[in-house]
Amino acid sequence: MTLDSIGDWVRTHYSGNVTPELDGVEITLFGWVQEVRDLGGIRFIIMQDREGTLQVTIPKKRVAPEVLSKSDTLQKRFSIGVKGTVKKTNMTSRGIEVIPKEIRVFNVAAEQLPIDITGKTPANIETRLDARALDLSLEQNAAAFKIQHTALSAIRDFLFEKGYLEVHTPRIIASATEGGAELFPVDYFGQKAFLAQSPQLYKEQLTMSLEKVFEVGPFFRAELSHTRRHLSEFVSVDVEQAFASAEDVMKLLEQVIQFTCKAIAEKCAKELAALKYRATIPEIPFKRFTYDEVLADLAKEGVTIPWGEDITTEAFRVLGKNRGYYYFITDWPTKSKAFYIKPKDGNPELCEGFDLMWRWIELVSGGTRIADKNLLMERMKEKGLNPDSFKYHLQAFDYGMPPHAGWAIGLERLTMVLTGKKNIREVALYPRDRSRLTP
RNA sequence: GCCCAGGUAGUAUAGUUCGGUCCAGUAUAUGCGGCUGUCGCCCGCAGGACCCGGGUCCGAAUCCCGGCCUGGGCGCCA
């Protein structure tokens, strides 16, 4: 069929801002055909754009012949423009419909779509991700990303307001940040390099100059994880601050989380409705439990963790049931945390690292960092790392490294919490995991 | 890396226990026809599938072996 050019048409409204008050007004809409319902003498075109849907009504005997013939050709997902008149009516749930004066078809679509875009026969996540571009045309699937956008916007607003500078550290690095095994190797002009798993060392160095920084960006973990909460490529929201302790950045974190939840509650009613999920605004301060307290409570529940060991997923699930929503776990054994986490003064078996949990999921981890070069090198060795491969990082500690602390939020995990999604792949546009590299 | 489960039309599923009643049922989608107020429109008709390879058997969607792919759990972590 012959396609139309957009010509001089300019969108006047999104579907979402057409209201009964516009009765009689001529408008121009752009979007896609979501559904055609033809009753014989009258035809309904459900047109969709980013903001929602709108009914275009074609009473066959009362529209121009060229409008009727053009509407004959329409199929699901055709990209179209409609110029028409808003009509107030009590026959649609929105209270409005549009009677077209001209329809333009910009592009066609396959007759048989790989997923059902009306949502009557929901597809599996695997099928949906294979057709992700189309999958995101479903309101409930796009909703999570609108919420993610709002969350990130709130986080940025909050941190800007508090004087944090947004920075960008390298994604291509020469050596491991925290260990060796979980990095993706890349060939860098013949040199061996890796994709960054975290901005940790760079953001610490930046506290020497910019003092309060944050970074939002993707990081890469070559772990063979196979769960609903892991990705090979994920977005981290990292904060690092000079002259601060774990407690200082925990206070910052709980404010960031609360502010973000408020923003979602205020701005995302439509998206939450599409997801059939309710926003909750947590009270602060969040509860704080020490590692020892958690172990003691777990023991009462019949789950024994030897002191010094990491808390297992099974144990976290038990914890999640009776701890409620957001809670901190503090005072971890030093040996269970990364080498750069500061041991407690006077009790080096414990450290100033913390995790922020949401039920059983680790949302954020952070802590006070080691600012002393010798101690840091000692901790590297204890972790089996070679200080020589951290030469440039360690050098920074010769020039006045301040006491500092920070944390990192897993953006997709936060989005899971905010949207109620149970699989992290739902909240990553094009997820990368152990077995998925496309699309 | 270890463990478990599963691959049936475009999509989602029934059937697999205990091989034959299944040249595979249903819904939705698609195509064609009909219908002037639908909004999961409705009605009729049509086409469309047993992951791949091997084996057992008179007979395999069903049982066995191998492969490929997927989902989930553990560990690791955001």
Q: Is the ipTM of this complex over 0.95?
A: no
Q: In this structure, is the CB of residue A424 within 7 Å of any atom belonging to strand B?
A: yes
The pairing of strands A287-290 and A326-330 is parallel
Span CA (A52) to C1' (B45), Å: 35
| Rounded-to-integer distance, Cα A153 and Cα A259, Å | 11
DSSP three-state, residue A185: strand
The reply to whether A111 has its C-beta less than 7 Å from any atom of strand B is: yes
Encoded tokens for A53: 């849907």
In single-letter form, the type of residue at position A409 comes to: I
Q: Report the CATH superfamily, name and number, of domain A15-107.
A: Nucleic acid-binding proteins (2.40.50.140)
How long is the CA A23 to C1' B67 vector, in angstroms?
64
Hits for CB < 7 Å against strand B across A residues 179-218: 182, 198
> What are the residues whose beta carbons fall under 8 Å from the beta carbon of A127, sequence distance 6 or more?
A114, A115
The tokens 């206070």 sit on which residue?
Answer: A251
Residue at A404: amino acid letter: H
List per-residue pLDDT tens for chain A, 439 residues long. 789 999 999 999 999 999 999 999 999 999 999 999 999 999 999 999 999 999 999 999 999 999 999 999 999 999 999 999 999 999 999 999 999 999 999 999 999 999 999 888 999 999 999 999 999 999 999 999 999 999 999 999 999 999 999 999 999 998 755 554 588 889 999 988 899 999 999 999 999 999 999 999 999 998 888 899 999 999 999 999 999 999 999 999 999 999 999 999 999 999 999 999 998 999 999 999 999 999 998 888 888 888 988 898 888 888 887 776 899 999 999 999 999 999 999 999 999 999 999 988 999 999 999 999 999 999 999 988 888 888 899 999 999 999 999 999 999 999 999 999 999 999 999 999 988 888 8
**Strand B lies under 7 A from the Cβ of residue A68:** no
Which strands make up the sheet holding A191-195, listed edge to edge? A172-173, A191-195, A185-188
The answer to whether A52 and A41 have CB atoms below 8 angstroms apart is no
C1’ B48 / CA A131, Å: 21
Classify residue A33 by burial, with Cβ atoms within 10 Å: 0-12, 13-18, 19+: buried
A76 touches strand B (CB under 7 A): yes
Let me know: does A420 contact A277? Beta carbons within 8 Å: yes
* CA to C1' distance (Å), from A78 to B8: 31
In DSSP terms, A186 is beta-bridged to: A193
CA-to-CA distance for A369 and A340, rounded, in angstroms?
6
What is the C-alpha to C-alpha distance for residues A377 and A393, in angstroms, rounded to an integer? 11
Q: Which nucleotide is nearest to A436 (CA to C1')?
A: B70
In A169-211, DSSP assigns E strands to 172-173, 185-188, 191-195
Q: Which nucleotide is nearest to A198 (CA to C1')?
A: B78
Q: What is the pLDDT of residue A273?
A: 94
Q: Is the CB of A222 under 7 A from strand B?
A: no
Cβ atoms of A159 and A256 within 8 Å: the answer is yes
Separation CA A407–CA A439 (nearest Å): 31
Is the CB of A118 less than 7 A from some atom of nucleic acid strand B? yes
d(CA A172, CA A189): 12
pLDDT at A370: 96
Which nucleotide's C1' is closest to A424 (Cα)? B78
- Specify the pLDDT at position A177: 58
Please tell me the CATH code under which domain A135-427 is placed.
Answer: 3.30.930.10
Q: Domain extents for chain A? A: 15-107, 135-427
Q: Which nucleotide is nearest to A362 (CA to C1')?
A: B78
Q: Which of residues 384-403 of A touch strand B (CB under 7 A)?
A: none
Return the number of other C-beta atoms located less than 10 Å from residue A111's C-beta.
8
Q: Which residues of A240-249 are buried (b: 16+ CB within 10 A; e: fewer)?
A: bbbebbbeeb
Distance CA A234, CA A257 (A): 19
- Can you give A4-31 as a three-state secondary structure string? CCCCCCCCCCCHHHCCHHHCCCEEEEEE
**Fold equal for A15-107 and A135-427:** no
Look at residue A226 and give its three-state secondary structure: coil
Q: How far apart are CA A350 and CA A344, in angstroms?
A: 6
* pLDDT the model gives residue A294: 92
- Which residue has the closest alpha carbon to B73 C1'? A227
A window 252-271: Cβ near strand B (< 7 A): none
Q: What is the pLDDT of residue A318?
A: 86
Nucleotide nearest to A311 (CA to C1'): B75
Give the closest nucleotide to A39 (alpha carbon vs C1'): B35
